Amino acid sequence: MIDIQSYFAKTHQGPYLNLNEDDILVDLNNRLFALFDGFGGSSIGDQAVDLCKKKVEGFFSKVSADPDATMPYFYSPKYLLETNALINSTFLAHEALLKENSSREMNERGGVSQILAMISENILSLVSVGNCAAFLYRNGRVSLISSPDCISPIGSIEQNITYRTFPLSALGLYEDLDPKVWEVNLQQGDKVVLLSDGIFSRLGVDDLRVILDKHGTDEHESVKSLINLSNDRGNLDNQSAIILSV
């Protein structure tokens, strides 16, 4: 089993907003890391995130305590059990938020982008919906694992940054949901980076590489630098980041 050497996770309202509709979840017992980005405004987006976070957290509390627990929404033998669990927790959160939104007009509904990551043995499982992104740093190179569901792909800072904060899918809005699912072999020395659009929408992959190279094993300083650089380039959104090293 590959060990988690260190990590740092932070969520913040950002330089402009008074409300933080982002949140993070770290469950070291289950080796689970999650990032949530809500939208809908005060008492809507933040409450939607809180509901989804509680559903994900509660699902893994139940699964870890009950060896006979089943996968109520989805199961595929091509995925690890842990990956199937992430998918099921995603659908559980989605169903709960759909129910919460059912009596509301569309313009009054809260939606949530989320990305869930879990490490089992040497495999990283990722399940993502909406406008969050995951990156892998290995041997001085950064690669995009899970791209955000947005109009413009991630690239250099010059490429259509205006549209990288508009999610094309989310939990709780429409019944149909198609999460992105990834399983990645990890190696000792790798870093996994999870970001909300309040950070990645103002950065390119090279920016991530330079910052991770500079700060090495100091994830706290890496997150601080990512947030500061994004804000220097005009970010006004909430910001969340998780960096973990193995």
- At residue 204, φ and ψ (nearest 5 deg) are -105, 170
- Contact (CB, 8 A) for 221 and 181: no
φ, ψ for residue 84, nearest 5 deg: -60, -40
What is the rounded distance in angstroms from the CA atom of residue 193 to the CA atom of residue 223? 9
Residue 1 lies in a domain: no
CA nearest to 90, candidates 137, 32, 166? 32
Question: Do the Cβ atoms of 72 and 88 come closer than 8 Å?
Answer: yes
> Quick check: 184 and 134 in contact, CB under 8 A?
no
At 48, list the tokens: 């939607």
Q: Where are the beta strands (DSSP E) in the chain?
A: 6-12, 22-27, 32-39, 111-120, 123-129, 132-138, 141-146, 180-185, 191-196, 239-245
Of 167, 68, 71, 57, nearest to 112 by C-alpha is 167
Residue 111's CB is within 10 A of a number of other CB atoms, namely 26
User: For the chain, which ranges sit under pLDDT 70?
Assistant: 64-69, 152-165
Cα separation, 43 vs 244, whole angstroms: 31
Domain with 87 in it: 6-245
Domain count for the chain, please give it. Answer: 1
Tell me, what's the pLDDT at 75?
86
CB-based contacts of 66, cutoff 8 Å, min separation 6: none
Has residue 19 been placed in a domain? yes
CATH number of the domain that residue 65 is part of = 3.60.40.10
- Residue 164 is predicted with a pLDDT of 66
Other CB atoms within 10 Å distance of the CB of residue 235 = 24
> What integer pLDDT is reported at residue 168 of this predicted model?
80
What pLDDT is attached to residue 67? 64
Between helix 219-232 and helix 205-215 the angle, nearest 10°, is 140
